[in-house]
Structure formats: C-alpha cells, structure tokens
Amino acid sequence: MDSRDVRRMLESMAATAHSAADEARGRMQSASQTISDKYDEAKLNLMLARVRGEQERVFADMGRTLFLMNTGNYPDDEAHPTAQQTIDRLLIAAEQKQQEIDRLLAKMHAVSGAVVCPFCGHRCEEDARFCAECGAKLAKGE
C-alpha cells in the first residue's frame, strides 16, 4: 500500500460517502419519528455533546486508518476487514451521527429558537447563512 493507493482510495471515498448518506438516511427515517417532544435545551445540549463525542471518535478512527494505510501498517490479512471496508463503515457511522446531530439541532431550534452550527456547535445569529466560527453553510439559510 503506497501513497498512490491512498490517493485512489480517497477519490473513491466521494462516491462511497454519497451512498453512505443515502443508506444512513433510510435507517434514520423511522428512528426520527420516535423521539419525544419533551426535551428541553439543557437535555438537548447533553445529547448533542454525547453524539458529537461519538462522531469525533469515528473521525479519529478514519484518520488512524488512513495513517496506517499511508505508512504501510494497515493489517493485510484475512482476520481484518480491508481498509476500504473499514473506511466505508466509518463513513456510514459518521453520516449517521451527523443526522442525529441535525435532528437534535432542529429540535433545539424548535424548543429555544437557537441556531447552532451542525458542524462545530457554534451558536449562530438567527438569520446567518454561514457559521461565523467555522464557515460552514447553514441549512437554514438555503
């Protein structure tokens, strides 16, 4: 596994991310209907912190996988999933966490009117189109 392989894999990740998003969306649809309306902002903040932490661990796993590939240390045997399989699994997991975050943020907006960046958690102006902290596009401004 050399850096050319890593580059090729990164190129295929865009396509994988797209199908991962579709798959995660399908799985989330039923779950999103079960959440209760009773959560106040403090509870929502706790839940957001937990899900963000879980997503950060997924991102860390992705980084570690890419690093192991790039240094030729990713395990290359039958006992382990391939690097591509691992990355695919992590992309789906990250997408699921993002959809949980988006769902919680929508809930928070309904409860308190807060507009929070889905990517960095910065509390934004009500009419902002982009996050003042990280620059991400805010869905509400579309």
Taking contact as CB under 5 A, which single stretch among the options 39-47, 48-56, 60-68, 116-124 is the one that binds Zn ion?
Answer: 116-124
**Would you give the end-to-end CA distance of the chain in angstroms?**
42
103 interacts with Zn ion by CB under 5 A: no
The amino acid sitting at 133 is E
Least Cβ distance, residue 132 to Zn ion (angstroms): 8
Residue 74, Cα to own-chain centre: how many angstroms?
A: 23
> Of the candidates 66, 116, 117, 138, which one interacts with Zn ion according to CB under 5 A?
117
**Would strands 123-124 and 115-116 be described as parallel, antiparallel, or unpaired?**
antiparallel
Task: Mark residues 58-97: x for contact with Zn ion by CB under 5 A, - for none.
Answer: ----------------------------------------
Structure token digits, residue 90: 């992590």
Please, are residues 5 and 80 in contact by the beta-carbon 8 Å criterion?
A: no
> What does the binding site for Zn ion look like in residue numbers (CB under 5 A)?
117, 119-120, 122, 131, 133-134, 136
